[in-house]
A and B are shown apart, each in its own frame.
Chain A
Amino acid sequence: MQLSFVVFKTMKKFCVEKTLKTSVGSTRLGHLELPLFTKAEEGNDGSSNGRSKIDYATPMYFLHTQTGSIPHITAEVLKLIYPTASDTSGQIPPVQISLDATAKFIEPLSKFENGVGKFVGLSEHPIFLTIHDPLYLLRSGHNDKFGIALWSRHGRRPLSPKQFHEAVTAFKPSISQILSDYDVNPEISGMKRLKKSLERAEEYTSYVIKQEETTEREKKKNTGFFITIEASWFLMDEGLATKAVLRLLESQHQIEGVVLAGLSDRFVKKKQEDEVKKDSNGKGSGDSERMDICETLDIELLDKMLQNLPANLPKYVPGPFKLPEMMDLVARGVDLFDSSLASRMADYAEALLLDSVEAILPSISTTMVAMPSSLSEGLAERADKAERQEPPSNSEEGEGAVISLKDKKYFDDFGPLSRFCTCYTCRKHTRSYIHHLYATDELLGPVLIQIHNLSTLDRFFSIMRALVKENDSPESLLEKSALMRNLLKARILIKIEKEDKVAVPSV
């Protein structure tokens, strides 16, 4: 089925710069322009809230936050990771904020008037308001005709389309995901439930768009909306799901992107849920609610979801996917991701290494991927260090794309996390020190790992963009991700033998 798509009055602009199309999929490079909300300066007439625009190269990632903050990273430290736009590998990422843990901001934000970005100390970043934290699992049984259930540390909280509209008005995000009745599970739900969910998708979307049109006229706001399409719809009935998605897109010209939800397993596992029920009043506890790193990706399902989506809409897949999985998604034309992988790895004391990955990406040199201009400084400092302390080479063996700093072998390893990384952490701190920080539950451990992992993720996305720019075909990308996956597997075998139980440091 083909779709004619008319861009009406879209404020945000996504344009596809280049597409490499084969039977596997369409890998693409694009540009997403996001407005940055700034409150009118004094002296201006009160109605004109300013919006400067920032241009982003895609594929890219949003910075994952919890309760509005990037885990372990304050605004001050964030500047050390991304010093200035021209100084990094190209761009300072926008920020993803989920409504589940920030619904309680609606009230203060409706009075604050400066938007959620300023409120959480990240006013220089455009905000993408999503519904769920990609690291928080959902539970079944609480979506009804009034709205959906949000799950967070505080337990369950209902969200009606009206409340969602109020949230968008108060948060003033650059873009927002529209709420969705996610509670469809092929193992439990019947066709009636599926149809209900699809109906609600239309209801919610048209309600939100209509409300926004009214408000837009009054306040000259311009939040762009992403519709949500659920993986479970396609698992249950591809035909019905496709029709519903097309109806969603046809009727709403204001739609500026698509969230492909449910590819990471978002639901509390049946067994876990029973445990949660047993020990509490429904609030649940601890780790049973935490999403783990996604090791697998249902490619067939993804292809079904992507099949009928128009090319001119950016596509976001939320969740903590590993690097090879992210590359697979890029190969198939997914444009947007989030850094929830880095957040989760900080809990586990795991550092991403591209050292061996870069070896299988031969065409990528430092000339193609802009390195920070602080590189020279970093390397000088590194050389200076190397003269003083030769890093022991024994722990370099068998390293895949991930190392766990809880591993005792790093106790006296005075080398940086990665020999080729020039991030703040790798310029200043050693594996030994970071191992010590985790061993003593010091808060600085996750900070240093997060700095390195976000820097590494940033570099990984630069590499992926450079690969597509150099006409790397989707097949070739998939070959590379397969190689990376094998490196990871080798690493996992070593991990199973050695690793202690992981404890998450607490405040």
Chain B
Amino acid sequence: MGSKSALTFKVLAECPVTKARASLMTLPHGAVETPVFMPVGTQGSLKGLLPEQLEKLECKLILGNTYHLGNRPGTDLMKKAGGLHNFMHWSHDLLTDSGGFQMVSLLELAEITEEGVKFKSPYDGSECMLTPEHSIQIQNTIGADIIMQLDDVVSSTTTGPRVKEAMERTIRWLDRCMAAHQFPEKQNLFPIVQGGLDPELRKECAKELIKRDTPGFAIGGLSGGESKDDFWRMVHISTDILPKNKPRYLMGVGFAEDLVVCCALGVDMYDCVFPTRTARFGCALTFTGQINLKQQKYKEDFSPIDPECTCSTCTNYTRAYLQKIVTHETVACHLLTVHNVRFQMRLMERIRSNIKTGTFVEFVKSFMLGIYPDKKYPTWSKDALEAVGITLS
């Protein structure tokens, strides 16, 4: 089973101090350098950007949501269109989630049984069931380069036997997903490490998943309201166990500081709606933190969002003009989305190049100083970085 894979992963450089590594991940629709951030294009488009604009931003791997695409336009049309790549005219790589997380978080009445996730259709109220087999079947039709197993998601703050049950069920569902997967030679199925905030359960889950020899691994069930202290420890434990020769994907993480810290902990892939969602509220990302362009202080600020950024927004537009149009012209949303996606790409580029040149530790220190000029670093990032050999002082 495991020998069939549509992914090669080559570690190009490793940080001599931390667990960070720079690698080349080759997928059916092209090679991607990691660590990589994947913007989320929920329903087959990324917040008003043309595929060509994403290419110019050097974004070559984006995420689509199975739950949404399965509803609209639906699998029949997706099949007719020849998959999501064709449908949205995207020639680079795609990743789809399993749809389970969306279902549990969007639909109040979702109920999880051994068979799958039971829910009431938001369209006609009828009872539906998303099984591991069904999720894979939809993802096979969508045709993304990386697809995700259906996992039993519990809130990261849940405690007690339910966490163990969810972890064990996730492993059982992985086996069902693998059995149902029709195209292992062109789509890579990733399992998801669960186990809540319990280090032992996380380890047990990771060890069990490794036995399946999948092309890569995801770390799930985090970034959902748990303390940052718990968060980094769970990531740290997971990357300690997961094999070095395969990509590790931390789901739902995308704040700049989290990305830098988690790269130090050895994570290779990330996704998050934050950079694109925040754009619509007038928020722009920079290396010294976020700025909200709604603020009056930008009224006569004729500089670009970031003078060092080469995105089309920073080339053509001033903060003063953006201040006039944010939150009410769709153009403003496009402009900030372009900049914010470019920011994420630039951040990852910097991380990769510093790993390759052996200067990652210095980079982390100067990055942290950039967002905390008063050196009042959050305890969790100090602790996390300390754990992999970087001391912030």
On A, residues with C-beta under 8 Å from B are 66-77, 80, 104-105, 107-108, 111-112, 119-121, 153, 388-389, 411-412, 414, 424, 428-430, 432-433, 436-437, 439-440, 442-444, 446-447, 505, 507
Q: Is the CB of A80 within 8 A of B52?
A: yes
Are A437 and B45 in contact (CB-based, < 8 A)? yes
Query: Is B17 in contact with chain A by the CB < 8 A criterion?
Result: no
Chain B residues 33-79 with CB under 8 Å of chain A are: 43-53, 56, 68, 72-73, 77
Which chain B residues lie closer than 8 Å to A443 at the CB level? Answer: 45, 47-48, 330, 333-334
- Which of B43, B313, B320, B333 is the one whose CB lies under 8 Å from A112? B320
Least distance between A339 CB and chain B CB atoms (Å): 15
Q: Chain B contacts of A411 at CB under 8 A?
A: 73, 77
Q: Which residues of A contact B299 (CB under 8 A)?
A: 107-108
Q: Which residue from chain B places its CB closest to the CB of A441 in the assembled complex?
A: B43
Cβ contact within 8 Å between A444 and B50: yes
Nearest CB to that of B47 among chain A residues? A443
Q: Judge whether B73 and A76 touch: CB under 8 Å.
A: no
A116 CB → nearest B CB, Å:
10
B-side contacts of A111, CB under 8 Å: 300, 302
Interface of B is mostly: helix
Whether B45 and A444, one on each chain, are in contact in the complex, defined by CB atoms closer than 8 angstroms, is: yes
Cα-based distance from A67 to B80 in the complex (angstroms) = 41
In the bound complex, CA of A430 to CA of B48 (Å):
16
Closest B-chain residue to A440, C-beta based? B43
Tell me the residues in window 262-317 of chain B with beta carbons closer than 8 Å to chain A beta carbons: 280, 299-300, 302, 312-313, 316-317
Q: With the chains together, A447 CA to B72 CA distance in Å? A: 20
Contacts of A68 in B (CB 8 A): 321, 324-325
* Known contacts A67-B329, A412-B80, A432-B87; A119/B320 CB under 8 A: yes
Whether A76 and B316, one on each chain, are in contact in the complex, defined by CB atoms closer than 8 angstroms, is yes
Inter-chain contact B312/A74, CB cutoff 8 Å: yes
Alpha-carbon distance between A414 and B50 when the two chains are bound, in angstroms: 18
Q: Closest chain A residue to B322 by CB distance?
A: A121
Contact between chains at B50 and A66 (CB < 8 Å):
no
User: When chains A and B are docked, how far (Å) is the Cα of A20 from the Cα of B327?
Assistant: 49
Q: Once the chains bind, are A119 and B318 in contact (CB under 8 Å)?
A: yes
Given the known A-B contacts A80-B52, A414-B81, are A74 and B88 also in contact in the complex, defined by CB atoms under 8 Å?
A: no
- Closest Cβ of chain B to A236, distance in Å, is 37
Q: In whole Å, how far is B37's beta carbon from the nearest beta carbon of chain A? A: 21
16 contacts between A and B (CB under 8 A): A67-B325, A69-B332, A71-B331, A76-B56, A76-B338, A77-B53, A108-B302, A108-B324, A111-B302, A121-B316, A412-B80, A429-B89, A443-B47, A443-B334, A447-B50, A507-B280
The answer to whether A444 touches B333 (Cβ under 8 A) is no
Partner of A74, one of B51, B87, B331: B331
A433 touches B43 (CB 8 A): no
Shortest Cβ distance from B211 into chain A, in angstroms? 40
Chain B positions within 8 Å of A121 at CB level: 316-317, 321
B302 (CB) vs chain A CBs: closest residue: A112
Contact A440:B317 (CB < 8 A) given known A412-B80, A507-B280, A507-B330: no
Q: Which 5 A-B pairs have the closest CB atoms?
A: A443-B48, A76-B312, A121-B316, A69-B331, A444-B45
Interface residues of B in 324-378 (CB under 8 A from A): 324-325, 327-335, 338
What separation, in Å, do the CA atoms of A22 and B255 have in the docked complex? 69
Give Cα A69–Cα B45 distance, bound, in whole angstroms: 22
Additional 19 contacts, C-beta under 8 A, given A73-B331, A507-B328: A66-B329, A67-B324, A70-B331, A71-B329, A71-B330, A74-B313, A74-B316, A108-B300, A111-B300, A111-B302, A112-B302, A120-B321, A121-B317, A388-B82, A430-B81, A432-B81, A440-B72, A442-B48, A507-B333
Question: Complex formed: what's the CA distance from A343 to B43 in Å?
Answer: 24
Q: Are B331 and A433 in contact (CB under 8 A)?
A: no
Instruction: Please determine whether B72 and A436 come into contact, CB atoms closer than 8 angstroms.
Output: yes
A444–B48 touching, CB < 8 Å:
yes
By a CB distance below 8 angstroms, the chain A residues around B335 are: 74
B300 contacts A74, CB within 8 Å?
no
A433: chain B residues within 8 A (beta carbon): 44, 81, 87-89
Within 8 Å CB of B89, what residues of A?
428-429, 433
Residues of B within 8 A of A72 (CB): 48, 330-331, 334
Report the separation of the CA atoms of residues A486 and B40 in the bound assembly, to the nearest whole angstrom: 45
Interchain CA distance A181-B352 in the complex, whole Å: 62
| List of B residues within 8 angstroms of A75 by Cβ | 312, 316-317
Cα separation A364 to B27 with both chains bound (whole Å): 48
Q: What distance in Å separates the Cβ of A454 from its nearest Cβ neighbour in chain B?
A: 14
Give Cα A433 to B49, complex, Å: 14
* B74 to A: closest C-beta gap in Å: 9
Q: Which of A71, A119, A436 contacts B44, CB < 8 Å?
A: A436
CB distance from B317 to the nearest CB of A (A): 5
User: How far in angstroms is the closest Cβ of chain B from A153?
Assistant: 7
Q: Complex: how many Å from CA A121 to CA B302?
A: 12
Q: Provide the residues of chain A in CB contact with B88, threshold 8 Å.
A: 433
Cα of A446 to Cα of B299 in the assembled complex, Å: 29
Determine the residue in chain B with the shortest Cβ distance to A346. Answer: B330
Query: Given the interface contacts A68-B321, A432-B87, does A446 sit within 8 Å of B73 by beta carbon?
Result: no
Q: Which residues of A contact B328 (CB under 8 A)?
A: 67, 153, 507
Asked whether B73 lies within 8 Å of A432 as measured between CB atoms, the reply is: yes
Please measure, in the bound complex, the distance between the C-alpha atom of A153 and the C-alpha atom of B299, giving whole angstroms. 19
| Smallest CB gap from B298: residue in A | A108
The residue in chain B whose Cβ has the minimal distance to the Cβ of A433 is B87
B222 CB to closest chain A CB (Å) equals 28
- Bound CA span A270–B313, Å: 42
Q: Which residues of A contact B43 (CB under 8 A)?
A: 436-437, 440, 442
Asked if B73 and A69 sit within 8 Å, CB to CB, the answer is: no
Residues of B within 8 A of A442 (CB): 43-45, 48
Residues of chain B within 8 A of A412, CB atoms compared: 77, 80
* Contact call A69/B312, Cβ cutoff below 8 A: no
Contacts of A66 in B (CB 8 A): 329
CB neighbours of B52 from chain A (8 A):
80, 428
For B325, the chain A residues whose CB sits under 8 A away are 67-69
Taking the closest CB of chain A, its distance from the CB of B15, in whole angstroms, is 36
In the complex formed, the residue of A with least CB distance to B89 is: A428
Q: Which residues of A contact B45 (CB under 8 A)?
A: 437, 442-444
